[in-house]
Every structure is written in C-alpha cells, then in structure tokens.
C-alpha cells in the first residue's frame, strides 16, 4: 500500500513571516561588517540598475566569499537582525499547524545559508531557498538549481510534494505578493498575508482569507 498523503503548511518568508527583506538586510550587514567594501557594494548595485530583470537572480556580490566565513556571518545576521523581526503571529500560526500534524515548509527566494537558522528556529520540516554554487570552499556568485520565485516556487513545491507525499489540494500556503499566485492557486487553502495591492485584490475576488502577521 502507498503511504497516506500528508498536509503541508507552506510559508513565504520575506514580509510574510519576517517583517523585512532578509537578503537585502544581509547585503548591508556584509557592508557594515566590512566583508563587502563600499566600492564592491556600489558596483553590484549599479549592475542591478543596468540589468533590473536580473535583480533577484544576481548573487555576484557573493563571488569569492569563503563559504565557511559567509555562512557564519549569515547565522550572526539572522540572530542579530532577522530573528527580532520574526512575526509572533506568524510563529503562532506555525505552532497551530504543527499541532494539527501538518508539515511545515519554508519557501523563499532568500539565501539558503541565511534561512537555515530560521528553519531550525521554527523547527521546519522543509526549506526551499536559493542555493549559490561553491567551488573549493568559495562561493561563485551563481545560482545552482531552480530559483524559488514566481513559477519556480510552484515547481519546487510540486517536486517536494511528490517526494514527501504532500496532498497540495488539502495543504495551506501563506504569501504576501502577487508573484506568489502560482503557489497560492495550487493549494486547497491559500492565505494572503500582509498582501500587496495586487494580491489583496485577487484575494478579495477569490474570497481567500487575508491575514496580517
């Protein structure tokens, strides 16, 4: 007999569970702690301005950073700057889902090394985040694997659902932006959290719950 299907509660992170843009905060944390010079930071930001479509995929500011040192800084940044911005209502929501026996999945375009401490803090069963390639103990600045944004989030969730026997038709998803529509439309219980104007409009039209964490 096949294993019974499970229910998942899938949470976006930035501006949903956490009241900040986590990777942006990490970028400035690296500048503040002199792991990125002002010249490096400005060069990166000018590159984003020239190629705005790549702004979510461009991780070139991490090129040449030793993985062990950067991962340690990511953990410090989480503890000092991100954990204090974790929504108490979001944490309570996760606690309720865990009490109901649901698997907790964090889904974010933020960096995996930055989100690992959050996943541990929340005792998440799964984390889908952005992985940056490394070679000889140094980050290359290039993304490896599928980028968790827009339709990419849905592909990653469907793959995880197959591997973990999640029934998406009975599962929950919490997100804040219209970019998350592919994910929200794929689950039985979509919830708009701190929604952008576009998502709030869509939620009202479809009579989805709207919550504020």
> pLDDT tens digits, the chain, 213 residues: what are they?
455 689 999 999 999 999 999 999 999 999 999 998 888 889 888 888 888 777 777 898 999 999 999 999 999 999 999 999 999 999 999 999 999 999 999 999 999 999 999 999 999 999 999 999 999 999 999 999 889 988 889 999 999 999 999 999 999 999 999 999 999 999 999 999 999 999 999 999 999 999 999
Per-residue DSSP letter, 131:
E
- Report phi then psi at 185, rounded to 5: -75, -15
Two tokens, residue 197: 């104007």
Report the distance separating Cα 130 and Cα 110, nearest Å.
Answer: 6
Report the distance separating Cα 183 and Cα 202, nearest Å.
Answer: 13
- Burial zone of 61 (CB within 10 Å; 0-12 exposed, 13-18 middle, 19+ buried): buried
pLDDT at 1: 44
Q: Where are the domains of the chain?
A: 8-208
Report the distance separating Cα 202 and Cα 178, nearest Å.
Answer: 8
pTM: 0.92
Active site residue 14: yes
Residues 6+ apart with CB under 8 A from 87: 17, 18, 19, 213
Residues 6+ apart with CB under 8 A from 135: none
Active site residue 167: no
Q: Can you identify the CATH homologous superfamily of domain 8-208?
A: HAD superfamily/HAD-like (3.40.50.1000)
Two tokens, residue 132: 């940056």
């Amino acid at each position: 007999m096949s294993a019974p299907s499970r229910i998942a509660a899938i949470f976006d992170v930035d501006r949903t569970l956490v009241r900040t843009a986590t990777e942006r905060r990490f970028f400035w944390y690296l500048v503040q702690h002199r792991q990125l010079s002002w010249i490096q930071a400005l060069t990166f930001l000018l590159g984003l301005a020239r190629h705005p479509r790549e702004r979510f995929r461009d991780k070139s500011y991490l090129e040449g950073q030793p993985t062990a040192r950067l991962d340690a800084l990511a953990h410090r940044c989480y503890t000092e700057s991100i954990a204090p911005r974790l929504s108490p209502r979001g944490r309570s929501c996760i606690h309720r889902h865990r009490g109901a026996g649901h698997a907790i999945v964090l889904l974010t375009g933020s960096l995996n090394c930055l989100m690992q401490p959050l996943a541990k803090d929340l005792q998440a069963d799964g984390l889908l985040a952005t992985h940056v390639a490394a070679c000889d103990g140094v980050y290359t600045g290039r993304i490896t694997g599928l980028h968790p944004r827009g339709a990419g989030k849905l592909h990653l969730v469907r793959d995880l659902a197959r591997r973990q026997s999640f029934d998406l038709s009975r599962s929950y998803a919490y997100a804040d932006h219209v970019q998350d529509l592919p994910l929200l439309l794929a689950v039985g219980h979509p919830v708009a959290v701190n929604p952008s104007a576009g998502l709030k409009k869509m939620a009202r039209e479809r009579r989805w719950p709207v919550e504020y964490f």
